[in-house]
Amino acid sequence: MNGEVIGPAGPTTATRMDKFTDTMLQNTGILGMIGKAERGEATIKSIKKHQASYLIAVGGAAYLISKSIKKAKKIAFEEMGMEAIYEFEVKDMPVTVAVDSQGENIHAIFNNLLDR
């Protein structure tokens, strides 16, 4: 990987992880998750309950994202390969906070602006 900490690190569509999110947040102490796409209402409530956050990254930017990862450690589900849960130390990662620890959700905010 030519001195890279990790290979390409593209985001996955996070909604497919919604059914596992509350369990992961409750049992792991995860502070934030990175993915792409909007999260479901129950997941947003879970993020708020556990004071976590959800960050969105641009799909197709895996190489750019990987350059911001300074350290990587698998912390759960190692047998799942690329689907394992990692802890990253990052610098200048190009992500946007989509759901903050208070449950504020940029997708809902944007939709409300469109409805005006």
In a domain, 1, yes or no: no
In a domain, 8, yes or no: no
Dihedral over Cα of 43, 97, 31, 60: its sign: positive
Counting the structural domains of the chain, the total is 1
pLDDT of res. 75: 87
Residue 85 belongs to domain spanning: 14-115
In a domain, 91, yes or no: yes
In a domain, 2, yes or no: no
* pLDDT tens profile 21-53: 999 999 988 899 999 999 999 999 999 999 999
pLDDT of res. 107: 92
d(CA 104, CA 100): 5
In a domain, 4, yes or no: no
In a domain, 5, yes or no: no
Residue 110 sits in a domain of what CATH number? 3.20.130.10
pLDDT of res. 1: 58
